[in-house]
Structure 1
Amino acid sequence: MTEAIAPEVHVMDVQTAYGIPLRVLAVPAGVAGPNRFRAPADRAYALVEFYDRRYPRCGAHGQFTGAYYDVPSVLDTRDGLNLHGGVQSWTVDAETMGAVRRWLSDLLDSGALDAPRPRG
């Protein structure tokens, strides 16, 4: 299954401490992600979307977990992140979230994403 994705979208694959392979997308403001969520052009930050790669039949990135966050909110997290309360395996542990935060910070530092930094 081929799925078009804007070239501005950044992709990171991780595996949680629970063994769940996830794909994380950083979608710039004003660009549509694979699920057509769109950060409006007048917003100053990108969105982060999470996909479960165990389900390739759902799309090229896997099954969308229903979880999308603005970059500053993800950078503000200090622990793990529960992506969907109804699916126990869709919990990202603190160590994996740390890797996601470092990746997003690198994208911001390189100018690949434009987003305000967290206040804390």
Structure 2
Amino acid sequence: MKPTPIFDAFSLESPENEEFAEKHSKVGGVKADEQIIKLLNPTEFIGECDTTKNWRIRHGAFDRDTSIAIPVILATMLKNKGYDVDFSLPWGLPHSGDYDLEELFAWIDKLAK
């Protein structure tokens, strides 16, 4: 859905700018603070901070905006650290898909009991 370089636009018109703006900007961009950049990767914090023990991750199989690798890596990392992960790739759903709210609420209710 987005042209190369995917997240940043060299002219800084992309809302996801600043990770690489300093080095490649054509308009004199400034790189974001290192602490802010670190926050962009939640995997840095798995097992290193107070993290919920239960995760429900859904990624539409027809998602054209986010690579299927992203939720697979997240779910795998969480499982490898001992977290309870309910992971699914709903068939036919896009990035903005409805991931069955009734099922989500039932999952939450089960955990709350």
Tell me which structure has the larger Cα radius of gyration.
Answer: 2
Does the TM-score normalized on the shorter chain lie above 0.5? Answer: no
Bigger relative CO (Cα 8 Å, ≥ 6 apart): 1
The normalised TM-score by structure 1 is 0.30
